[in-house]
Structure 1
């Protein structure tokens, strides 16, 4: 409550205003309380006296929009000496009273800016008019009335709160003058218009949906423009983000195929009739599937991100680096000497992209196979250039990978041959044109056959017997390897059962491809085949390449453990050609290690490594099989190392089942 001294001081300060018959009061904006009121105002507010009115907390039930408006008043009074005429409704004792208000600033004795309120009561003969005024006060929609020169005539509280300058003209409000002029031209033509524009506000630049309508000023009767603005910044940002995602790769942040199509059209337009040329550089990472299969997809994603960063680093700011999907990237570049620029990229790719990358504790190296097509030499449409660059990239892979090839017409013929091969392979599966050959696995000490490796051959109707190198890569890339792998495993299982009945108790080994190994249905399919053939899993061995075991993916451990529980033995084929080391392999349930033929056939050069492998295998209690033994000297070395078994042309090449039996019995 006010003390008698404070009350008397206020009355003395505002003594001249006491004589005015209209309700007048001073409102302390900072404290949300009436600071002083004349007798007419006390009556209006239904107060028992000035002390009682001053004790009321007006902020307790004040709406947020009114509180903001009062703060804006305070700023305008202090900075601009402004005054306002507005229509207000107050609620003394809960009874609405509508008034025309004259509002101006007044300093209190302590220097703070308060508001001097002069009121004149309005008779409520038009309720809708009063309600419209209240709605205009409380709405978040920014309403502004301009004259035809763009000078402001009125702003509602939301609009006033938004503008950084009290007298900001229409032309100062918006950043994009061309868009504003376009909207005003539509206004003159149709009498109304709507456009989304960037607006200068107290919150910096915001996006507003702006609607304008021709009208008249109710005070002067002159033509005016009524403008409403709604802040749609969040929606605009969401749309921009959605458009960004639609045109960019979410993993690497690089432009995607859709963005490339647009950029290519823009590039052709900008090139005009000059001598400038363009190039599409198509990049595919060699053996990327091995990384996914062994280290897991998270590691593969991390690798792609690092490759994307390296591609950005080796290209010019004017070049476009994009990710087309999977492990495929694209560089679009323009130059007056395009072949020199492509040659620079080739050298940078070789020196940068192929550098080792450390991922999840493993060091991996991926090399790029690159195909290039030139505009307009190899095509004028993007689809044509992409196809030709893709053909050149596949040609680089076929010629040994880690190379850059420029498109040539014969490449299309080779692709056609590959497509024909895919079709033939599908027919071959249906027609059962495949056959298993078996290479004996021989006991070094006794010379007796202890097992066999099942190797597929294709009895082609025209080309005769075709080896696996000619068709297995295609089966792997197209997904046919699962069906073909099931057929191989079933045939080997049936052969094991048949030979056991005939007195040949041999263990048959079957190769698993990377795609087969990562298939979640592998275990179920093998179990069904074992049941259907009545084969003994203990007499069947599954061979994996060491690259398939690279990394610490949980899938690798779980699958190998499950295969062991089913009774299969696990061997690592072609050891020494990939990324692994023996200590690493010790983590897995492996029983057999097959030493690659390069260590056996080139004994002098590889003797220290080969002997180390054999010693480590003994310590780890692994069975060792030497591959590729073709001469007596090689067999002598194998025998000297204490290796248990070998296979190779010295004993026999891979043979059909009947010839295999004859060779074994001989």
Structure 2
């Protein structure tokens, strides 16, 4: 009997797909090229095993083949990526309704999967599409443009479906220029560390500060971290950027030691860094090079990193704890993940996301209830709590009244240069 993996092994590979694409172009008949990517498949392999993963991919292949029918061509072009060629005469995609077809296809592929090894598994998929001849005339250009559309579907769009357009291409070219500028900025030391203080509410002192990267472009324009950090994460530049930040923070801690500025400094660590085996070695090397007390260094990870890189995170946190580095979970409450990691991972602090702090203290307010629940949970687990985004005296007082440990926000100070922070710290300490 045929198994689900048969549907996978019977699909043409990337080489045969490219041959078929060129044959289709030679017919000079309009068609759509569609790429389908199964998201997070590495996690599925790690959780269920490679045999189960192949069965699931086989089931995906079967659904794709059925959806395309006789009016198209399906191939497997990467481990968890598929390509479809759809004749424009197909009623499902005629009259520029390819997006409707893609939405239906996405819905079909998101239905639960039952195989011999896994039951009830659901997948998420991203889809990119391009039309011949409007968007490209050659196979290579069609594939490049479809790759671009899929990239935006994976990283930039909420609905995970993207059709290629000239505007998308222009945006991509601008993004490429930004990527190259960021690469040079990292290499040439054009980035700068700013520090935002975190206040110990019980002792009314500066407990620590968060290191935040700022970038003034060569033309004088300030580039927002909300712009350049995602570019770094999506291109792999997050590794050299992360190493630069680790180095700079260790330099700052060395300077603080000489200036008698007694605060911890926190750095954010991304999912890419967590998965990179060299990250912990680089942290250790920087600590040793600048003779930094590891207890003065704090590492912040978001909940999403914990969910998608649990095994890597677990190994990293154990090593950080052995060094004496403090570990915080940033944006706590926004990750929609199981709280079981709080019990099993080496964590010291929870940073409550600013979205929950904005309206605390208002009568019958749900955010107040959430913050109180987090405070109770943290106390039972012997974890410290830092409230982010504190901007008003009422928020400050609510946190004090409910025994929150620390707070961070514009009420105390905006991020500032390292030299300004040193001056601010001494003024604040003398007034406390």
Corresponding residue of 2:376 = 615
Q: Aligned pair 1:316/2:68, yes or no?
A: yes
Contact 1:372 1:406 in 2 (8 A): yes
Corresponding residue of 1:389 = 146
Larger Rg: 1 or 2? 1
Contact 1:628 1:648 in 2 (8 A): yes
Deviation at 1:489, TM superposition (A): 0.9
The one of the two structures with greater contact order (alpha-carbon pairs below 8 A, sep at least 6) is 2
Q: Unpaired runs of 5+ in structure 1? A: 1-247
Contact 2:63 2:108 in 1 (8 A): no
Aligned residue runs from structure 1 range 469-488, under 5 A: 469-488=226-245
Moved more, 435-444 or 345-354: 345-354
- Partners in 2 of 1:327 and 1:467 — Cα distance? 34
- Partners in 2 of 1:311 and 1:602 — Cα distance? 48
Deviation at 1:308, TM superposition (A): 6.0
Change (3 A) 1:307 1:436: farther
Give 3-state SS (helix, strand or coil) of 1:535's partner: coil
Aligned residue runs from structure 1 range 112-151, under 5 A: none
- Partners in 2 of 1:504 and 1:577 — Cα distance? 33
Corresponding residue of 1:652 = 413
- Partners in 2 of 1:611 and 1:537 — Cα distance? 31
Change (3 A) 1:503 1:251: farther
Change (3 A) 1:582 1:332: same
Aligned residue runs from structure 1 range 145-294, under 5 A: 254-268=11-25, 272=27, 277-284=30-37, 288=40, 292=42
Q: Which has the higher helix share?
A: 2
Contact 1:249 1:323 in 2 (8 A): no
Deviation at 1:583, TM superposition (A): 2.8
- Partners in 2 of 1:263 and 1:620 — Cα distance? 59
1:405 to 159, 162, 165: 162
Corresponding residue of 1:371 = 128
2:183 to 413, 423, 426: 426
Corresponding residue of 1:624 = 385
Corresponding residue of 2:56 = 306
- Partners in 1 of 2:158 and 2:312 — Cα distance? 29
* Cα-to-partner distance string for 1:184-231 (whole Å, 9 max, x where unaligned): xxxxxxxxxxxxxxxxxxxxxxxxxxxxxxxxxxxxxxxxxxxxxxxx
Q: Aligned pair 1:665/2:426, yes or no?
A: yes
Contact 1:370 1:402 in 2 (8 A): no
Corresponding residue of 1:492 = 249
Corresponding residue of 1:576 = 333
1:466 to 211, 223, 240: 223
Deviation at 1:499, TM superposition (A): 1.4
Corresponding residue of 1:547 = 304
- Partners in 2 of 1:356 and 1:600 — Cα distance? 37
- Partners in 2 of 1:598 and 1:649 — Cα distance? 14
Contact 2:59 2:113 in 1 (8 A): no
* Cα-to-partner distance string for 1:265-294 (whole Å, 9 max, x where unaligned): 44456xx57xx63111123456x3xx75x7
Give 3-state SS (helix, strand or coil) of 2:414's partner: coil
Contact 1:457 1:468 in 2 (8 A): yes
Q: Which has the higher strand share?
A: 1
Deviation at 1:436, TM superposition (A): 0.4
Give 3-state SS (helix, strand or coil) of 2:344's partner: coil
Q: TM-score, normalised by structure 1?
A: 0.56
Change (3 A) 1:347 1:627: same
Q: Unpaired runs of 5+ in structure 2? A: 428-432
Give 3-state SS (helix, strand or coil) of 2:216's partner: strand
Give 3-state SS (helix, strand or coil) of 1:628's partner: coil
Q: Aligned pair 1:331/2:78, yes or no?
A: no
Deviation at 1:300, TM superposition (A): 9.2
* Cα-to-partner distance string for 1:86-110 (whole Å, 9 max, x where unaligned): xxxxxxxxxxxxxxxxxxxxxxxxx
- Partners in 2 of 1:357 and 1:653 — Cα distance? 49
Change (3 A) 1:619 1:505: same
- Partners in 2 of 1:527 and 1:283 — Cα distance? 41
- Partners in 2 of 1:503 and 1:622 — Cα distance? 27
CA RMSD of aligned residues (A): 3.3
Deviation at 1:456, TM superposition (A): 0.8
- Partners in 2 of 1:375 and 1:562 — Cα distance? 52
